């Protein structure tokens, strides 16, 4: 399966867990009811009906911070669709007018680590034993979940 087919796997599924902030800082985890999960390590923004609710730069206080409260709103919402750019920026469209934008912007350091793959976001499906990650080189790397 390619990246589009894998992302399509979660379309129609509800989010049952969505967390960021606290000790995780701005790393955002979205878990779907179909055993799929999305780890977002790079820049992101959550919107509701055309307004920005939070970004990875907002208050990261656990539970009560702007990031934590905003991403929790996705719980119970179905994923309606997605868009994936050639650079692997990802837009997720949810019920009730929510939208998540993920920007592949984590880069490597000059010198010895320049060619190292840095994970910007990672999408895993436990039931299919597969994970894919978007790297700083605009590649998608496919791995086993287990």
Name the domain count of the chain.
1
In this prediction the pTM is 0.93
pLDDT digits (tens, 9 = 90+) for 22-43: 888 899 999 999 999 999 999 9
- Give the rounded percent of residues in the chain with a pLDDT score beyond 70: 95
**pLDDT given at position 118:** 85
**pLDDT given at position 82:** 98
- Domain residues for the domain of 14 are 3-143
Residues in the chain: 146
Strands 51-55 and 43-48: antiparallel
* Planar angle of CA 82, 84, 86, nearest 5 degrees: 170
**pLDDT given at position 134:** 95
pLDDT at 19 over 90: yes
């Amino acid at each position: 399966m390619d990246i589009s087919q894998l992302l399509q796997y979660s379309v129609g599924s509800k989010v049952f867990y969505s967390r960021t902030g606290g000790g995780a800082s701005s790393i955002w985890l979205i878990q779907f009811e179909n055993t799929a999960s999305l780890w977002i390590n790079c820049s992101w923004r959550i919107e509701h009906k055309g307004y920005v609710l939070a970004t990875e730069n907002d208050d990261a206080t656990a539970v009560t911070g702007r990031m934590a409260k905003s991403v929790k709103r996705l719980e119970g919402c179905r994923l309606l669709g997605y868009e994936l750019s050639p650079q692997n920026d990802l837009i997720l469209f949810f019920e009730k007018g929510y939208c998540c934008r993920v920007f592949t912007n984590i880069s490597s350091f000059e010198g010895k680590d320049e060619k190292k793959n840095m994970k910007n976001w990672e999408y895993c499906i436990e039931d299919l034993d597969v994970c894919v990650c978007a790297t700083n080189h605009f590649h998608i790397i496919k791995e086993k979940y287990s």
